[in-house]
Chains A and B, each alone.
Chain A
Amino acid sequence: MPKVTVANLDAIAAAARQRHQGWKAMLMVCAGTGCVSARSLPIRDALREEIGRRGLEREIKVVATGCNGFCAHGPICVVQPDGVFYERLKAEAVPELIESHFVRGRPLEEFLFRAGDGERPVPLEKDIEFFAKQQCIALRNRGKIDPEDIEDAIRAGAYQALKKVLAEGIEGDELVRRIVRSGLRGRGGGGFPTGIKWQSCLAAARQRGVRPYVVCNGDEGDPGAFMDRSLVEADPHAVIEGMLIGARALGASEGFVYIRLEYPLALQRLRKAIAQAREWGLLGADVMGTGMAFDLTIHQGAGAFVCGESTALMASMEGRAGEPRAKYVHTVEHGYRDRPTVLNNVETWANVPQIVRNGPEWFAAIGTGDVSQSPWNGSSGTKVFSLVGSVRNSGLVEVPMGITLREIVFDIGGGIPDGRTFKAVQTGGPSGGCLPDSKLDLPVDFDTLVDSGSMMGSGGMIVMDDRTCMVDVARYFVDFLCEESCGKCAPCREGLVNLREVLTRITRGEGREGDLELLEDLGAALTDGSLCGLGQTAANPVLSTLRYFRDEYEAHIRERRCPAGVCKALIRYSITEDCTGCTSCVKVCPTEAITGERKKLHVIDQTKCIQCGTCMDVCNDDAVVVR
């Protein structure tokens, strides 16, 4: 393989583009974790086989891509260059698909997207509501390249930004200033300006005369967020290139990627991408033939939410338990191995090459506020969200900062399915909060979300409908944080346990007057007294639900009632007259609490019922109700 240099990158890209244009069509089969689990790999194989059988293998290429983002509709295949979007494909339908699409010249309607049953099919990906309002910077190559082929990434523009900084001699302060001017803020959740972080690190490294490290945070511990996994699976070279540019700015020669073991596919693709980048001369002792030395090492996380925190992550990378320390001294000064260290999130790194390539002003023009004086004055660029939960079109979306929650949930997400009503949207993971209907028209940016009691977080956006109990959600997050608290400082360790106790009591119907005030007091103590970000934000899910859904807490305490029908001690399942007597629920009931003959109304014996909800899950007629 060729060694990529500053001089030959364009020629390599042009040659790859020319070969690419030789194909009459490309079948981009999604091979992200979601589609693979929906059996997209047998579909890829079936497509190859069918194309071979028809002797079309010189005209049509089948490419396994990274995550397309529209995971709930998998397995997905997009035909390029025309952009026809096929969803929920089946391997056995492949011959018919090839026949219809390529021989008869008509997309196979059965597998086209429809907004609902009986709606007209939407053949083109760009016309589907889910994709129409998106603007992709970090995910620009998703579904467009083969993530396991560096040449394909180069064809699509990878390493052009690196070439630019190397060829034009942009480095150090000048390169850092460009990142500051872009207004880029940390995509991992904190929203700290990336350029300012780099400035502090560069200053510390110079002062101490040591080489700093660059680190990529791919721990992605927030439940309900999967943008980092998806990004690494779809375009690992964007992360590598971002880190190379960071290394160039800071004078680092070693970088590390910390990534969760729970993401085997992302780990595998990243390993392969790093190996290929080394072979092609983009990592190693002589990057692009310029004498720059930089290489990457992967560290695998082993399951600890707190390891997303910088000092905990670095402790884990040093081969210790991932416990945070007080940050009197920041990691940009004394981080990994006590050296100045820049830690940025996967998505942040993936934005860096685009900023360098298109200029900081281009990036700053997208989003909210005016960041020309300071990156703190706005939120520029785009943000990737995982739009999931009770929403019709769930998946990964990248939108410009400043878009409203309503546009995301109702325009892109298509609203709430199954005739339910919107109740809340949860952002920011366990550090964030739940926002109600009245906040839907807020623009999504770092500062607005914090002002309303939630936060951007890493980008989880979980939509909840009227069947979600907000007290249960608060208890769920506190449970999670109890497990994940490292226990080092008392406010977090004891505060969370006490919050859990009170919340559990309320969900069991044993709540008392004064409990809500107690929750608020405990929350304030946690926020003020905890050592690291985990504890300081741990009360947010409780405080935000108390702020916006207080009546629901009160119903639990005063009326011993769970309005959403979730808290077991407060609910009863029953069967309505809509029951058609299919006996499905009779068969699955684990306690034989349901009696009824075929075609006759079934009845639940309340003395035997354990409120497991299986009958409701299995019922096809919505005849099982919960009160």
Chain B
Amino acid sequence: MRTVIPIQVVQVDAIIDRWQANPEFAVEMLQDVQGRFRHLPKDALARIAERCGTDLGRLYHIATFFKAFSLEPKGEHPIQVCTGTACHVKGSARTLEAFGRELGIAPGQTTPDLKWSLDGVRCLGCCGLAPVVTIGPDLLGGVDSSKAGKLMRRYRKRFAAQASPEASGDGDGAEGDGDA
């Protein structure tokens, strides 16, 4: 039998408690699990099924139905290239390919060191700024394919600085890179 890592049970239980173990909030629980673990660990799904009195199959149905969920771990810094219509007509397919070349992975994949993952995502609702990309917490507008290299250099440096102990922790928000 699988052994459940105890720390996860505590974390998963906290999530289940947040939604009062109500199976109507199964989607929300999975969102929280995805947010915390960057994927849906088997054990977490089993725990939710057990505590909410719902069957595991139903949770897997949800987990594989909605785009927000992944059964494989995603990267520490997700990069999302918006593929909504406005972004598409402004060349987001080229932007997505450019980030793929920078990271050496295809859309939907995660780098082997689990640092980065790249996805083409549904409309982010910032169509006036197309093409739009999110890198970690930042939303950037006007990102055509020629800007991918520069942005990756900047964010590699920034995330490396944040990871080191003397990081200034300048939690500065999103940064517009040129106009849209």
Residues of the A chain whose Cβ atoms lie less than 8 Å from the Cβ of B180: 71-72, 394
Residues of the A chain whose Cβ atoms lie less than 8 Å from the Cβ of B84: 223-224
Question: What is the minimal beta-carbon distance from A601 to any residue of chain B, in angstroms?
Answer: 20
Contact between chains at B61 and A321 (CB < 8 Å):
yes
Q: Residue B85 contacts which of A220, A223, A302, A590 (CB distance < 8 angstroms)? A: A223
Q: Which of A29-37, A133-141, A172-180, A279-287 contacts B (4 or more CB under 8 A)?
A: A29-37
A34 and B128 in contact (CB under 8 A), knowing A303-B122, A388-B86, A460-B85?
yes
A612 and B129 in contact (CB under 8 A), knowing A221-B122, A464-B89?
no
A348: Cβ under 8 A from any B Cβ: no
B116: Cβ under 8 A from any A Cβ: no
A613 and B91 in contact (CB under 8 A), knowing A223-B85, A224-B86, A262-B122?
yes
A513: Cβ under 8 A from any B Cβ: no
B169: Cβ under 8 A from any A Cβ: no
Nearest chain A residue, comparing its CB with the CB of B24 = A319
A38: Cβ under 8 A from any B Cβ: yes
Cα distance A468–B86 when bound, in Å? 11
B152: Cβ under 8 A from any A Cβ: no
Question: What is the minimal beta-carbon distance from B123 to any residue of chain A, in angstroms?
Answer: 4
A605-625 with Cβ < 8 A to chain B: 612-614, 617-618
Question: What is the minimal beta-carbon distance from B48 to any residue of chain A, in angstroms?
Answer: 10
Q: Residue A389 contacts which of B24, B89, B98, B179 (CB distance < 8 angstroms)? A: B89
Q: Which of B67, B144, B146, B179 has the most CB atoms of chain A within a 10 A radius of its CB?
A: B146
Contact between chains at A613 and B141 (CB < 8 Å):
no
A462 and B86 in contact (CB under 8 A), knowing A34-B129, A319-B24, A322-B65?
yes
Band of interface residues on B = 35 or more
Cα distance A300–B90 when bound, in Å? 29
Residues of the A chain whose Cβ atoms lie less than 8 Å from the Cβ of B122: 221, 223, 262, 303, 305
Cα distance A468–B54 when bound, in Å? 48
Contact between chains at B54 and A71 (CB < 8 Å):
no
Q: Residue B24 contacts which of A225, A304, A317, A618 (CB distance < 8 angstroms)? A: A317
Contact between chains at A320 and B62 (CB < 8 Å):
yes
Contact between chains at A300 and B126 (CB < 8 Å):
no
A395: Cβ under 8 A from any B Cβ: yes
Cα distance A464–B89 when bound, in Å? 7
Contact between chains at A300 and B124 (CB < 8 Å):
no
B127: Cβ under 8 A from any A Cβ: yes
Residues of the A chain whose Cβ atoms lie less than 8 Å from the Cβ of B97: 612
Residues of the B chain whose Cβ atoms lie less than 8 Å from the Cβ of A331: none
Q: Which of B9-17, B71-79, B154-162, B170-178 contacts A (4 or more CB under 8 A)?
A: B170-178
Residues of the A chain whose Cβ atoms lie less than 8 Å from the Cβ of B176: 37-39, 74
Residues of the B chain whose Cβ atoms lie less than 8 Å from the Cβ of A320: 26, 58, 61-62
B120-140 with Cβ < 8 A to chain A: 121-130, 138-140
Cα distance A34–B25 when bound, in Å? 30
Residues of the B chain whose Cβ atoms lie less than 8 Å from the Cβ of A363: none
Q: Which of A71, A224, A486 has the most CB atoms of chain B within a 10 A radius of its CB?
A: A224
B114: Cβ under 8 A from any A Cβ: no
A42-63 with Cβ < 8 A to chain B: 42
Residues of the B chain whose Cβ atoms lie less than 8 Å from the Cβ of A394: 86, 127-128, 180
B111: Cβ under 8 A from any A Cβ: no
Contact between chains at A37 and B94 (CB < 8 Å):
no
Contact between chains at B65 and A304 (CB < 8 Å):
yes
A429: Cβ under 8 A from any B Cβ: yes
Residues of the B chain whose Cβ atoms lie less than 8 Å from the Cβ of A38: 129, 141, 174, 176
Contact between chains at B27 and A316 (CB < 8 Å):
yes
Contact between chains at B149 and A588 (CB < 8 Å):
yes
A131: Cβ under 8 A from any B Cβ: no
A501: Cβ under 8 A from any B Cβ: no
Q: Residue A220 contacts which of B89, B125, B146 (CB distance < 8 angstroms)? A: B125
Contact between chains at B25 and A319 (CB < 8 Å):
yes
A349: Cβ under 8 A from any B Cβ: no
B32-61 Cβ-contact flags toward A at 8 Å (1 or 0)? 000000000000000000000010001001
A444-464 Cβ-contact flags toward B at 8 Å (1 or 0)? 000000000000000010101
Question: What is the minimal beta-carbon distance from A568 to any residue of chain B, in angstroms?
Answer: 9
Contact between chains at A319 and B94 (CB < 8 Å):
no
B18: Cβ under 8 A from any A Cβ: no
Other contacts beyond A389-B90, A395-B128, A612-B94: 17, CB < 8 A: A34-B126, A37-B141, A226-B126, A316-B27, A320-B62, A321-B66, A386-B128, A389-B86, A390-B89, A462-B86, A464-B89, A584-B146, A588-B146, A612-B145, A613-B91, A614-B98, A617-B145
4 nearest CB pairs, A to B: A71-B128, A303-B67, A223-B84, A224-B85
Chain A interface (Cβ within 8 Å of chain B)?
33-34, 36-39, 41-42, 70-72, 74, 88, 220-226, 229-230, 261-263, 299-305, 316-323, 386, 388-390, 394-396, 426, 429, 460, 462, 464, 468, 473, 476-477, 480, 486, 584, 588, 590, 612-614, 617-618
Chain B interface (Cβ within 8 Å of chain A)?
22-28, 30-31, 54, 58, 61-62, 65-69, 83-86, 88-91, 94, 97-98, 101, 121-130, 138-141, 144-146, 149, 172-176, 179-180
10 of the cross-chain contacts (CB-CB < 8 Å) are A33-B126, A33-B139, A226-B125, A303-B122, A321-B61, A389-B130, A462-B86, A613-B91, A613-B94, A618-B146
